[in-house]
Structure 1
Amino acid sequence: METPSAAPPQSESRQEVGTASPANKASTPTTLHISDKAALAAAWSGPHPIITHLNADTTWVLHLPSPEGVERPSGRRRFNVLLDPWLQGPQSDGGRWFSIQWHVVAPSVQTIKELNGLLAELEKDSAPADTAAEMDSYIDVVAISHEFTDHCHEATLRELPSRTPIFAPDKAAKLIRSWKHFDAVTEMPPFVAAETKDWRKTLTCVPLPPWLGIGRVVTPGNSLYYHSAILIAWAGSSAREESNCVIYSPHGIEPNALSGMKGTGLQTLALLHGLDDVRLWMMKQLNLGAVNGVSAARKCGAKYWVATHDEVKKGGGFVSLLLRRTTWSVADAVKREGEKGPVKEPGGDDQAGGYEFVELGSGDGLVLA
């Protein structure tokens, strides 16, 4: 079982959906739950991306609208990117004696089949009657962040059709190929924001549509690429709209690795980064936590900071005896980060931190408007 260490003084409880960010925005994020079919269908027919949290940990689906002028498959409004799917059963690395964990909060969908049925229903409800078409899978691509089995869960992934394209870093790609289940497993290209002027040249590749790219941001010198991020970029829905991206970093990423994002031609709609500081006793910090998240959200100019990978799971094995967790509120993290001094972009002004913090439970979604 994960063992919490002493938490920092809490000036308030962790912020909930719709509370003001450090920028004190007046707007309230548009959130919904997959059980609210009417609200979900309305958002599905709209122009904005949606991101849905499938469990209380770090499994997500990003639902992207196709840009104007792009031919879509018959009866489809959305392109669905599945991130780090782990739904049922335990996950174990190095054997049960070493590390094993189970979800404590039930996933909002129990199987890939159930998820696919939900996506199919949304597409049928939003498509004109003469264009509705049956498909065996509405999950268009899967992106895996790490080879560890809470991110790369074999039993869940094997529920997907073999023709589903998989994008993964090198070690995870090698592992997935060893199962001999998927037809195409692509290693994610590296993405260095400070060196990128046109994201399309760096990230777009077959089998992705030409308006979409997936890559990996890595902190230089980080062992095992543990503190890294997946970057999903897509063209704006119209010629007048700039390109957007979501940065997904379940363990956290050093803020300096995100320097230069504003020069890439991408607007960061959301940074997915955890609140909790998780570490091995007397050893390695695993999840970098909220203080790092504040800096990272500022550095990449994220519109939303969405918490991820914070489920306190039931655990066993040797590693569970060493885990220590510190739970942070956003307010305390902002205060602590501020004590380190203002965050500066090279050649730029101090960053005020104009993000909106959102915490989503299992089955909750956020409209990235």
Structure 2
Amino acid sequence: MALDEPSAQLNAELRSSVVDSLASRRPVLHHLNDDTTWLLQIPRPEAAVRHGARLYYNILIDPWFRGGQTDIASWFSRQFHATPSAVQSIAELEELIREVERSAMESEPAVNKRRTRDLEDFVAAEESLIDAIAINHEFTDHCHKETLLEVNRNVPIFAWKEAVKMIESWKHFRSVTAIVEFGSDCDSDWRNTSIPPLPEWIGISRLTKSDLHAAMMFTFNNRRANSQARLAKVQAAQTNGYTFDGKVKGHHETIQPNEDDESAEALIYTPHGLPSSDFQIVRDASPPISCLALLHGLHNVRLGTATGLTALQINLGSHNGLRSQRMLNADYWIGTHDEDKKGRGLIAWFLQRDILTVRDALLQEFKARRGGKGDALDRDVVTVLDSFEAANWVDLRNGESHVLL
């Protein structure tokens, strides 16, 4: 398949990321358009790979590649991408993922040539290399029917309950599952968000303030499956009275899971923003959850009135992003849903957008602390720059990829 320029750029990014990812066995995040469509690739547990699984578990998030999207009716709101998506179709995405797997097989020292051929045959025979699709909202820039109908019907969908109703009405997908609310019934155990057909080492859940302001949390521990397998072997050996080192164990002695093996990393995706205080539940989670990446935009987007008031706050913007990052202390803060799309319809007349970089937001904070008097002093600017580094901001544009170390 011949790739257009944006897709060719992404293809090159993927190859580079695969080498780095395999060396570190870390996830890779790919920005597939200039808005809020992502591919998250999580390396599978070593035990699974040894037994014939592909090297990555691939989660597609809020896919919308081309064409317009309409809310309610075209006269009300219709939008188009301002720049072409790096990926233009599900078929292109499948080919790119297939290329990742090929590159991974070639780069993986633990995979011998025969095993590589077997894996290549296995990958080529699979109906789809997309393992799951996650939909955070029912709005059609997140839940785009034309894009989703290109996906193989056997790919499982995990979606917000309002999106589930919409997707089920298409009668296309075999499996459409409502995402669980993290922390409901005082349950902050990420393992309980691993709903079949997800593997036990991955969970998907949602933190919700309102239908609009919410976050989707992808939790994972690809060491857990390995440790569970080791634990099962030890326990099986103990039923025969021996451990693997040949020593006799006491009849009633048991082996408990290592709590460190039960903790998880998380990618938290909040395209419209979630009030920062609502992330406290993640900090209090048990087993512990460490935030690897926060996906939160910088643009303050709202519907205004003729008198200058805000009728509806849509995207919470960089100041809420800063507060959220301080709450979560994510290793990476990556922008999302900041594309200034081509808009038509009634809403376009009332849509207002303030664009603040992370540094702009930090400078505003420092100025506010000084009572808004004068410009920032040199020492304040240095402090702001230090704070910017501490924010761990990564600008991942259309067609770019990043290994989450």
Into which bin does the TM-score normalised by the smaller protein fall? 0.7 to 0.9
Q: Is the 8 A contact 2:61 2:133 kept in 1?
A: yes
Given the alignment of the two structures, is residue 77 of structure 1 paired with residue 113 of structure 2, yes or no? Answer: no
Q: Is the 8 A contact 1:44 1:122 kept in 2?
A: no
Once residues 214 and 195 of structure 1 are traced to their aligned partners in structure 2, the CA distance between those partners, rounded to angstroms, is 17
**Structure 1 counterpart of 2:277:** 256
Q: Is the 8 A contact 2:137 2:163 kept in 1?
A: yes
Match of 1:35 among 4, 7, 12: 12
SS at match of 1:335: helix
Once residues 77 and 314 of structure 2 are traced to their aligned partners in structure 1, the CA distance between those partners, rounded to angstroms, is 14
Identity %: 38
Superposition CA RMSD, Å? 2.2
Q: Name the TM-score, length of structure 1 as normaliser.
A: 0.82
**Structure 2 counterpart of 1:356:** 392
Q: Is the 8 A contact 2:31 2:38 kept in 1?
A: yes
Once residues 185 and 171 of structure 2 are traced to their aligned partners in structure 1, the CA distance between those partners, rounded to angstroms, is 37
Q: Name the TM-score, length of structure 2 as normaliser.
A: 0.75
Per-residue CA deviations over 1:284-310 (Å, capped at 9, x if unaligned) read 110000000000111122111100000
Gaps of 5+ in 2: 1-8, 106-115, 228-259, 306-310, 370-386
Structure 1 segment 261-276 matched on structure 2, within 5 A:
261-264=282-285, 265-276=288-299
SS at match of 1:291: helix
Once residues 340 and 169 of structure 1 are traced to their aligned partners in structure 2, the CA distance between those partners, rounded to angstroms, is 38
Aligned CA distance change for structure 1 residues 290 and 187 (closer, same or farther; 3 Å): same
**Structure 1 counterpart of 2:99:** 121
Q: Is the 8 A contact 1:196 1:263 kept in 2?
A: no
Gaps of 5+ in 1: 1-31, 342-351
Deviation of the 1:122 alpha carbon: 1.5
**Structure 2 counterpart of 1:29:** none
SS at match of 2:117: coil
**Structure 1 counterpart of 2:251:** none
Deviation of the 1:192 alpha carbon: 2.7
Given the alignment of the two structures, is residue 232 of structure 1 paired with residue 213 of structure 2, yes or no? Answer: no
Structure richer in helix, relative to its length: 2
SS at match of 1:259: helix
The structure, 1 or 2, with the larger RCO (C-alpha pairs under 8 Å, 6+ apart) is 1
SS at match of 1:43: helix
Deviation of the 1:34 alpha carbon: 3.3
Per-residue CA deviations over 1:139-158 (Å, capped at 9, x if unaligned) read 10000010000000000000
Once residues 335 and 361 of structure 1 are traced to their aligned partners in structure 2, the CA distance between those partners, rounded to angstroms, is 24
Give the total of aligned pairs: 323
Q: Is the 8 A contact 1:262 1:301 kept in 2?
A: no
Per-residue CA deviations over 1:18-44 (Å, capped at 9, x if unaligned) read xxxxxxxxxxxxxx9532454133134
Match of 1:130 among 92, 115, 118: 118
Structure 1 segment 45-60 matched on structure 2, within 5 A:
45-46=22-23, 47-60=25-38
**Structure 2 counterpart of 1:280:** 303
SS at match of 2:167: helix
Q: Which amino acid aligns with 2:272?
A: H
Match of 1:215 among 183, 201, 205: 205
Out of 74-83 and 187-196, give the one that drifted further.
187-196
Once residues 337 and 174 of structure 2 are traced to their aligned partners in structure 1, the CA distance between those partners, rounded to angstroms, is 29
Q: Which amino acid aligns with 1:208?
A: L
SS at match of 2:136: coil
Once residues 173 and 340 of structure 1 are traced to their aligned partners in structure 2, the CA distance between those partners, rounded to angstroms, is 43
SS at match of 2:180: coil
Given the alignment of the two structures, is residue 300 of structure 1 paired with residue 286 of structure 2, yes or no? Answer: no
SS at match of 1:321: helix
